[in-house]
A and B are shown apart, each in its own frame.
Chain A
Amino acid sequence: MEESMLKIDGVSKTYRLGQIGGTTLREELQRRRAKRRGLEDPTRKIGARSHADGEVFTALDNVSLEVKKGERVGLIGHNGAGKSTLLKLITRITAPSAGRIYLNGRVASMLEVGTGFHGELTGRENIYMNGAILGMTKKEIDAKIEDIIDFSEVRQFIDTPVKRYSSGMYVKLAFSVAAHLNSEIMIMDEVLAVGDMAFQNKCIEKMVDVSKAEGRTVLYVSHNMSTIRQLCKRVVVLSHGKVVYDGDVEEGIGVYSGMNLSGDWKIDYQRHPELRWSCGQVVRIRSVEFVNQSYFQVASSKIRMRIRWQSERHVDNVCLRVEVKKPDRTIIGTACGFGINAREDELGEEATFVLDSSGLVPGGYTSNYILFTTDSLGSNTTLDCVRGLDFELVGSDSGFIWNPVNWGHIRFPDLVLE
């Protein structure tokens, strides 16, 4: 059996809701006196929701996880899912409320760019400083310093105070120290985002390398799925403080992407004004829905959508634009519909459009709907734009598995042999 490097056993972390800290002794005494007399808390802001004792926010809820030696695990989840809290517990920045974390070796963490760098010290001095903070002894750093400087690509500036460094140089140096550390567990939290593409790739290769060659365990948090794919062999998806998926990378990213889809098949914008951008003065989209469909999963390549709108006055030649996006909101493509004449009508009008998605490969998608007009010179004026329906295209059996990471989300018609 492989050696286990990190075991998280039923760990929870709770925070007290309401105002904590930042309180003065006087306020505390006032509060105590009021409590004794059964009065209302005098220090509470008027109108603020009162938080009774014991009302807590659970950032992590009974999380259990085991990571083996040499594994590269990606930790993904939306904001507030508990990723950073979990890392803070593993790196001992704060203590858990319940449960235990077992570590088998030193932890090198990089939760932010240049942690522990002091602006007045030179790059070289900061390497020693940072190494020592991360738990290395001077002797260990002495042995590695040349490798660190080489890897960081900032040899030219190594004896310059780091306050004169660019942020890219900063992160290069910081990463180099962490990567060369004699630690058994390496924790990275989105630090690579600052470096340029070439350096990012170099870092990921280095991490893969150290985990393969030296058997070091890597725990990586990112919202950038392509780096997760490059680096990790396993992903853990967190949602609302719980582990919802643990296993294969592609499947995990699928689970995570799916969480961003709303699952609605109809949106009424009068009830969801937050889905509307700030236009819609003349013509307003009132609702959109899938036709002949009560679930957001669509199997057919013709997606029928009914759109209702209401107009203040008569507008000719209104066009509709449907922008299809990936769940991470990168655009895939756009379809336009022409020839609507919006009339002034209390009740509003509706039309049904058909989106031909035959080129689109199976997966989860999201969309925006924009109503606009074009003038004779071809320039556009936006009338209204809303966040549209999410849908999941269910694949038909095409004989082989499409790889959207490398092949993209559009499948052109098959090549014709001549």
Chain B
Amino acid sequence: MNQTQKYKTVITSEHKLFDLHLKETLQYRDLIFLFVKRDFTTKYKQTVLGPLWALIQPLLTTVVFTIVFGNLANLTTADVEGDYVVPGFLFYMIGNVCWSYFSSTLNSTSSTFLSNRGIMGKVYYPRLVSPIATAFSRLITFGIQFALFLAVWAFFLIRGGTSIRLSPMPLLLPLLLLQMMVLSVGCGTIISAATTKYRDLSMLVDFGLQLWQYACPIAYGLQLVPARWTGLYMLNPVTPIITTFRYAVFGFGYFDLGYYLISWGVSIAVFVTGLVLFSRIERTFMDTI
């Protein structure tokens, strides 16, 4: 037997904990790009309004939020007491745009194995390509919705309903986006790994996300949360993202470096856990799914 020959790939029964195929995934970046393109182009096929749906959705939700939480329930939209208050419409809209990116990414990455089992059962590619592509294709939708928000904001500025305040905080925006991505993909991959065995979790995702939304300051300002609960409330990793995002956009609001760093810590921990679980499950999930 020719033992001296070098082989490029070795498939073994053993698995190292941190063997995440990251380098290989990077080699498949063309596939990530094509998946993103496919997701986006096929999503609105055979719809009359097409990508306009990406705009209608946040607008309608924001209108409902403005009526229900703003006018009927009259909840505060201030994050910090005595601070300048933005019009409710803008407040709800930015919160919804962020949340819908987070929740839709989490939701669809959580069903990675289930919805791709047809193709994954027939051909190999680094499985991580799928959730990554999902995160990016949702980012396009986010971009469209954020542009819509900017347009609405500009409309309010011209009409004189609000003012603009300059600060270095907008520089944080890319970091915040990255964090949303990391956290949602992390949660999604953990759930996707678990759903190969326990389908219950896929039931929980929709429902859980609905509840989670109310645990985040989207329909109300941080001011509504009693001071003694703030510490606990801020441990929800999404909360600092949302408040900081609002601060970064509007130029005022709530920002606490401590909580923000904790939120990053949680995000990274979730992400790494997700990747490890994912790469563990991906090897044999076809046998159990």
Chain A, 244-264, CB within 8 A of any chain B CB: none
A135 and B28 contact, CB distance less than 8 A: yes
In the assembled complex, how far is the CB of residue B2 from the closest CB belonging to chain A, in whole angstroms?
Answer: 6
Question: Are the C-beta atoms of B123 and A120 separated by less than 8 Å?
Answer: no
Q: Which of B1, B5, B38, B123 lies in contact with A115, CB distance below 8 A?
A: B123
B28 pairs with A132, CB closer than 8 A: yes
Interfacial residues of chain B within 227-267, with CB under 8 A of chain A in the complex: none
- Which of B182-219 touch A at CB < 8 Å? 196-200
- Give the nearest-CB partner of B289 in chain A: A21
On chain B, the residues within 8 Å of A134 by CB distance are 123
Neighbour of A121 across the interface among B38, B198, B286, CB < 8 A: B38
Other-chain contact of B199, A7, A24, A118, A135 (Cβ < 8 Å): A24
A-B CB contacts (within 8 Å), total count: 116
Q: A25-B198, A118-B42, A138-B30 are in contact. Are A96 and B11 (CB under 8 A)?
A: yes
Q: A98-B13, A132-B28 are in contact. Are A120 and B42 (CB under 8 A)?
A: yes
Find the A residue at minimum CB distance from B11. A101
Most buried by B among A100, A111, A136: A100
Of the residues A90, A98, A132, contact of B30 by C-beta under 8 Å:
A132
Q: How far is the CA of A21 from the CA of B287 in the complex (A)?
A: 8
Q: In A67-116, which residues have CB < 8 Å from any B CB?
A: 88-105, 107, 109, 111-112, 115-116
Q: A28-B198, A94-B287, A132-B31 are in contact. Are A1 and B2 (CB under 8 A)?
A: yes
Contacts of A90 in B (CB 8 A): 11
Interfacial chain A residues near B31, Cβ < 8 Å: 132-133
Chain B, interface size category, equals 35 or more
B123 pairs with A109, CB closer than 8 A: yes
Q: Which residues of B contact A102 (CB under 8 A)?
A: 7, 9-11
Complex partner residue of A24 from B10, B13, B198, CB under 8 angstroms? B198
Q: With the chains together, A44 CA to B23 CA distance in Å?
A: 44
CB neighbours of A93 from chain B (8 A): 120-124, 286
| Chain B minimum-CB-distance residue to A64 | B1
A137 interfacial by beta-carbon distance below 8 Å: yes
**Inter-chain contact A15/B198, CB cutoff 8 Å:** no
A396 part of interface (Cβ distance < 8 Å): no
Question: What is the interface size of chain A, counting residues whose CB is below 8 A from a CB of the partner?
Answer: 51
A116–B124 contact, CB under 8 A?
Answer: no
Q: Which residues 306-352 of A sit at the B interface, judged by CB distance below 8 A?
A: none
Question: Do residues A22 and B199 form an inter-chain contact, with CB atoms below 8 A?
Answer: yes
CB distance from A82 to the nearest CB of B (A): 14
Q: Is the CB of B119 within 8 A of A99?
A: no
- Asked if B197 and A89 sit within 8 Å, CB to CB, the answer is no
Interface residue? A23 (CB, 8 A): yes
Which chain A residues lie closer than 8 Å to B2 at the CB level? 1, 4
Residues on B with beta carbons closer than 8 Å to the beta carbon of A365: none
Bound complex: CA of A115 vs CA of B116, how far in Å? 12
Q: Which residues of B contact A23 (CB under 8 A)?
A: 197-198
Contact indicator A95/B15 (Cβ below 8 Å): yes
List 29 A-B pairs, Cβ < 8 Å: A4-B2, A21-B196, A23-B197, A24-B199, A25-B200, A66-B1, A88-B286, A92-B124, A93-B120, A93-B286, A96-B11, A100-B12, A101-B11, A102-B9, A102-B10, A103-B7, A104-B5, A111-B122, A115-B123, A116-B122, A120-B41, A120-B42, A128-B34, A129-B38, A132-B30, A133-B31, A133-B125, A135-B125, A138-B30
Name B residues whose Cβ lies closer than 8 Å to a Cβ of A. Answer: 1-2, 5-13, 15, 28, 30-31, 33-34, 38, 41-42, 45, 119-125, 196-200, 283-284, 286-289
The 4 A-B pairs of least Cβ separation, nearest first, read A102-B7, A95-B283, A21-B288, A132-B31
A28-B198, A109-B122 given; 14 more Cβ-contact pairs under 8 Å? A21-B197, A21-B289, A88-B286, A93-B121, A94-B284, A101-B10, A104-B7, A105-B8, A116-B122, A116-B123, A125-B38, A132-B31, A135-B28, A138-B30
